[in-house]
């Protein structure tokens, strides 16, 4: 059966004290909205509908950057969660199947939980995700009788007995899309907040003879983010969970608390991550690779057996083949390093292709930028680039070629050739001794005066 995701993301998030809409604040480099959208992917949604309101253009652009097929509907005034869901009606035209309502500011919902909600639909017309709250605070309360959910009462409207209930509403719901749209259209705003509450659909559904039930999740999954301090806590929580998952999956983290992961970091089994490594978005590390201490990686791929760092920086488009080595104070951007390539010390490689087994000497720089255009450096297999070579791109170094240390290479070096471009050395016998004697004599003269 096909499923539609309806993601509520119209709210402003006043307490964030920010010009950025709340759902676009990032956790592990991805907007919170993406975390919610990603969780929903497990249901293989036929449609994804994002309800935007505050800064709708920004929210729409971000949603479509994640999923170009996401449909955006506008809720120009935030009149409540039922009103928000009702805006999805046109986008659901012709859709047959279930709809599931998610919040854009609740990034930690687990995929397993969403699957459980989808399964529970076999037993109930409406499924609500609830949790036992340590401190129920202002959450909506779930009023149940045995297996059945009778209604949801918002805190503001609840009496003392209802406020004593600790089973709370996460906000997530699943129902047949047509039924859901019918129900939200019926919701009124005669309540303490003067809002159209999505939570009212439970009582409305039961009045029609439909059933409602609860799926339970851990409170941590429904953690919402309403302020900067909650965002900071959410980041820590994401990091801890993700580190623990990687460790369970067979990755070695020597000092887990010092490794910072991105929302999409992929690390293979038996890879080793030393302390103080930072992953930006878009990194994949294959099995048996080793990322040494204090390295920073983003938008790159590291193959099996490669060694990176300590103190290396891999930027967007760095692609390291098997058993390649990238050492300290080496920066690599938009470049392919073939199998067994070594660039071990103090080097910048940008916009380059380096063939298998080539060695890049200390201090080598690809001079890839002329102030206007970027140019490529091509190095063949088994080449040897002498220390402190400046490779002025565009330039090609052939298979097995060499460059002399300290060369500025401005033209191609064919296969098997040596390219050398530096001033020829002159050696002046005794000159150093004479010069030093002269300078010392001068200093003595000055000290007298």
Q: Which residues bind ligand UD1 (CB under 6 A)?
A: 8-11, 51, 53, 75, 78-81, 83-84, 103-105, 139-140, 152, 154, 168-171, 197-199, 224
Name the residue nearer to ligand UD1 (CB basis): 198 or 231.
198
Name the residue nearer to ligand UD1 (CB basis): 83 or 301.
83
User: Cα(397)–Cα(399) distance, rounded to whole angstroms?
Assistant: 7
Name the residue nearer to ligand UD1 (CB basis): 197 or 279.
197
Greatest CA separation for the chain: 110
Residue 83 · residue 95 · CB < 8 Å: no
Q: How far is the CB of 54 from ligand UD1 (least distance, A)?
A: 8
Name the residue nearer to ligand UD1 (CB basis): 29 or 83.
83
Through-space distance between the first and last CA atoms of the chain, rounded to whole angstroms: 99
Q: How far is the CB of 217 from ligand UD1 (least distance, A)?
A: 12
Residue number with the shortest CB distance to ligand UD1? 140
The catalytic site residues sit at: 345
Name the residue nearer to ligand UD1 (CB basis): 173 or 393.
173
Name the residue nearer to ligand UD1 (CB basis): 199 or 358.
199
Q: How far is the CB of 99 from ligand UD1 (least distance, A)?
A: 15
Q: How far is the CB of 58 from ligand UD1 (least distance, A)?
A: 14
Side-chain-side CA neighbours of 158 within 13 Å: the count stands at 22
User: Cα(426)–Cα(438) distance, rounded to whole angstroms?
Assistant: 21
Strands 167-176 and 126-132: antiparallel
Q: How far is the CB of 197 from ligand UD1 (least distance, A)?
A: 4
Q: What is the CA radius of gyration of the chain?
A: 31
Q: How far is the CB of 212 from ligand UD1 (least distance, A)?
A: 14
Q: How far is the CB of 55 from ligand UD1 (least distance, A)?
A: 12
Name the residue nearer to ligand UD1 (CB basis): 9 or 214.
9
């Amino acid at each position: 059966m096909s499923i539609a995701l309806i993601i509520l993301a119209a709210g402003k998030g006043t307490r964030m004290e920010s010009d950025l809409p709340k759902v676009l604040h990032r956790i592990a480099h991805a907007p919170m909205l993406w975390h919610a959208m990603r969780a929903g992917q497990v249901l293989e949604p036929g449609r994804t509908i994002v309800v935007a309101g505050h800064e709708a253009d920004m929210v729409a652009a971000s949603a479509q950057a994640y999923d170009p097929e996401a449909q955006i509907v506008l809720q120009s005034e935030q009149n409540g969660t039922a009103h928000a869901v009702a805006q999805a009606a046109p986008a659901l035209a012709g859709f047959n199947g279930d709809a599931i309502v998610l919040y854009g500011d609740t990034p930690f919902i687990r995929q397993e939980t969403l699957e459980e909600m989808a399964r529970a639909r076999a037993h109930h017309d409406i499924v609500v995700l609830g949790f036992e709250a340590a401190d129920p605070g202002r959450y909506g309360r779930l009023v149940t009788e045995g297996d059945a959910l009778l209604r949801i009462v918002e805190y503001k409207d609840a009496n003392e007995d209802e406020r004593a209930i600790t089973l709370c509403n996460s906000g997530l719901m699943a129902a047949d899309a047509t039924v859901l749209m019918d129900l939200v259209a019926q919701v009124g705003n005669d309540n303490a907040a003067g809002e159209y509450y999505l939570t009212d659909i439970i009582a409305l559904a039961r009045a029609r003879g439909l059933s409602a039930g609860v799926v339970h999740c851990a409170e941590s999954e429904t953690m919402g983010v309403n302020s900067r301090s909650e965002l900071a806590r959410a980041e820590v929580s994401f990091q801890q969970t993700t580190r623990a998952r990687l460790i369970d999956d067979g990755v070695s983290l020597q000092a887990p608390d010092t490794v910072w992961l991105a929302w999409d970091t992929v690390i293979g089994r038996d890879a080793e991550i030393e302390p103080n490594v930072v992953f930006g978005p878009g990194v994949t590390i294959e099995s048996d690779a080793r990322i040494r201490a204090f390295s920073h990686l983003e938008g790159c791929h590291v193959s099996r057996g490669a060694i990176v760092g300590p103190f290396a920086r891999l930027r967007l488009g760095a692609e390291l083949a098997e058993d390649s080595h990238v050492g300290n104070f080496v920066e690599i951007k938009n470049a392919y390093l073939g199998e067994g390539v070594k660039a071990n010390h103090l080097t910048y490689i940008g916009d380059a292709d380096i063939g298998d087994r080539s060695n890049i000497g200390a201090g080598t720089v690809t001079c890839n930028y002329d102030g206007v255009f970027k140019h490529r450096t091509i190095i063949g297999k088994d080449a040897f680039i002498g220390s402190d070579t400046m490779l002025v791109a565009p330039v090609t170094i052939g298979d097995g070629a060499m460059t002399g240390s300290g060369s500025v290479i401005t033209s191609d070096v064919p296969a098997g050739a040596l390219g050398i471009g530096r001033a020829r050395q002159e050696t002046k016998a005794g000159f150093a001794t004479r010069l030093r004697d002269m300078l010392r004599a001068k200093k003595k003269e000055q000290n007298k005066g």
